[in-house]
């Protein structure tokens, strides 16, 4: 079974952790299979998961070849007569409800987190938050941040706890073109999901708005931000302690080696 590079988790381990009953329940609750006769949400999920483990890069050709392979069908109990084409995959991916995959991930993340004790989970309270932007032509993106250059942008914000992404947010609204809005919203979205959040959010220079920092402070959010060097500030307390030089006269002999 394929394994991520420098990673000890195999596809078999992941599949054993995902209950079949959960996929069936989410298929019904999200109605992901309402108009689909062949490429059900469960099959698409398994196909994407398998290809992520088995390939460095994903493409529709890779998905087609994998689905039609005997190994994939044997692993997931599919009939040899089942065949699909790239066009079918493309159409299904363009219309499938992404909330189906979001629900799977959040359920798995919650189950995974429950395996850690309170003491163990404290090691992963440092949450790194960052964003990246993907650009494409307007005729390919129905929604996006308009750049008035024939392209639209989609901003993805990720929160990483040291083991797994604890949150992923997608922003297409114009106001999220600035990191002050996107990163702040990503942090607040994660806090809303946790009743007793004790995380420390580490953010690079993306957030510079003092209004946002004040809002975080009022919400009792702990955060670390790399500020601009020329920012005006008032030092409340220094964590650098001035040590008094030790004088040799203050030393006493405890034991002589002779």
Give domain status of residue 254, yes or no: no
Contact 127, 202 (CB under 8 A): yes
87 and 186 part of one domain: no
Q: What is the mean pLDDT of residues 48-74?
A: 88
In angstroms, the CA 83 to CA 38 distance is 9
Residue 242, pLDDT > 60, answer yes
Domain assignment of residue 177, given as a range: 118-225
Give the global pTM.
Answer: 0.65
171 and 207 part of one domain: yes
Give domain status of residue 131, yes or no: yes
CATH code: domain of residue 199: 3.30.420.10
Q: What is the mean pLDDT of residues 32-53?
A: 86
Select from 102, 131, 164 the last residue of a domain.
Answer: 102
Give domain status of residue 244, yes or no: no
208 Cβ contact partners less than 8 Å away, ≥ 6 residues apart: 180, 227, 228, 231
For a pLDDT cut of 70, what percent of the chain falls above it? 87
Q: What is the mean pLDDT of residues 242-250?
A: 63
In angstroms, the CA 170 to CA 154 distance is 7
Number of domains the chain contains: 2
Band of residue 221 on the pLDDT scale cut at 50, 70, 90:
confident
59 and 150 part of one domain: no
Select from 102, 128, 144 the last residue of a domain.
Answer: 102
Band of residue 246 on the pLDDT scale cut at 50, 70, 90:
low
């Amino acid at each position: 079974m394929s394994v991520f590079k420098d990673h000890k988790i195999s596809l078999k381990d992941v599949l054993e952790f995902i209950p079949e009953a959960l996929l069936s329940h989410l298929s019904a609750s999200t109605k992901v299979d309402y108009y689909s006769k062949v490429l059900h949400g469960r099959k698409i999920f398994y196909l994407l998961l398998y290809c992520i483990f088995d390939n460095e890069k994903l493409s529709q050709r890779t998905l087609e070849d994998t689905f039609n392979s005997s190994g994939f069908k044997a692993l997931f109990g599919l009939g040899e007569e089942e065949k699909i084409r790239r066009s079918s995959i493309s159409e299904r991916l363009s219309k499938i409800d992404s909330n189906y995959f979001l629900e799977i991930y959040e359920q798995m993340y919650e189950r995974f987190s429950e395996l850690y004790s309170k003491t163990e989970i404290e090691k992963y309270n440092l949450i790194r938050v960052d964003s990246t932007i993907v650009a494409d032509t307007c005729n390919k993106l129905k929604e996006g941040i308009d750049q008035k250059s024939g392209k639209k942008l989609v901003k993805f914000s990720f929160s990483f706890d040291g083991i797994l992404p604890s949150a992923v947010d997608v922003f297409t609204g114009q106001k999220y073109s600035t990191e002050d809005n996107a990163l702040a919203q990503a942090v607040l979205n994660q806090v809303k999901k946790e009743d007793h959040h004790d995380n420390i959010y580490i953010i690079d220079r993306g957030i510079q708005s003092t209004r946002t920092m004040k809002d975080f402070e009022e919400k009792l959010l702990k955060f670390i931000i790399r500020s601009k060097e020329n920012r005006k500030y008032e030092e409340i307390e220094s964590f650098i302690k001035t040590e008094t030089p030790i004088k040799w006269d203050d030393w006493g002999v405890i034991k002589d080696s002779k």
